[in-house]
Amino acid sequence: MAKLYFRYGAMNSGKSTALLQAAYNYEERGQHVLLAKPQIDTKGAENISSRLGVSRRADLVIGPDDDVREQFAHHRALMQARAETALIPESIATGERPDVACFLIDEAQFLSARQVDDLLRIAVLDGIPVLAYGIRTDFQTRAFPGSARLLELAHSLEELKTICRCGRKALFNARLVGGRFVFEGDQVVIDELSLDRVTYESMCPECYLRESGGRLQ
């Protein structure tokens, strides 16, 4: 049975890099993958980009109201049609039909709970492994709706680790505006959509509480 995987970590833990590496590994073995990202993530336009400078265009860009399973089925059919035209006659004769080996989603925290339900259906009912990458909590230590649902539904949870400025393991994501820490505001603020310079820093609980004055929103 195919499974739904949630691979999570604080900011800068290499999630997009890991996703792109997983896609490369599948394709190196002659298998097909589909890559997706939420529309709200405007960084890199329709590309999935890592901090190492590796970038790749997403096959699906998921809008806030999109039916992900329906969208996936459409792109799966397009991929199969393209792949079949490239098959050698011997493969056609054996009845082999190309298919998606894995569905990979970047910034999965921005999905709705309903869309995460679709990911589980793709894995269980359609038989396609789904690898979702994202962060668990926002800058106020509250779970994103997509991440909360993934933690509830995923067959497998894997933490991708990174470190705080102090060298301890980072768990939280602090927001800075103009270089100053802020602990109030909208849950989602992406730099390209902001009038101010918005950045994020992954932090351990000790450093986060020190900067927030002991507050946990």
> CA quadruple 14, 17, 22, 23: dihedral positive or negative?
positive
The CA–CA distances, whole Å, from 186 to 107, 138, 140, 208 equal 17, 10, 10, 18
The CA–CA distances, whole Å, from 215 to 35, 140, 171, 206, 212 equal 38, 9, 16, 11, 5
Q: Can 107 be counted among the known catalytic residues?
A: yes
Catalytic entry in 84, 107, 201, 211: 107
- Per the rule left: phi > 0, alpha: psi between -120 and 50, beta: everything else, 72 is alpha
Q: Phi/psi at 105 (nearest 5 deg)?
A: -125, 125
Q: What's the CA gap between 74 and 112, in Å, rounded?
A: 20
Q: What's the CA gap between 180 and 198, in Å, rounded?
A: 9
Stated as kind and residue range, the H or E segment containing 68 is helix 68-85
Find, among 194, 190, 191, the residue nearest to 110 by Cα. 190
Contacts of 153 (CB under 8 A, 6+ apart): 4, 116, 117, 119, 120
Q: In 10 A of CB 73, how many CB atoms?
A: 13
As annotated, the active-site residues are 107
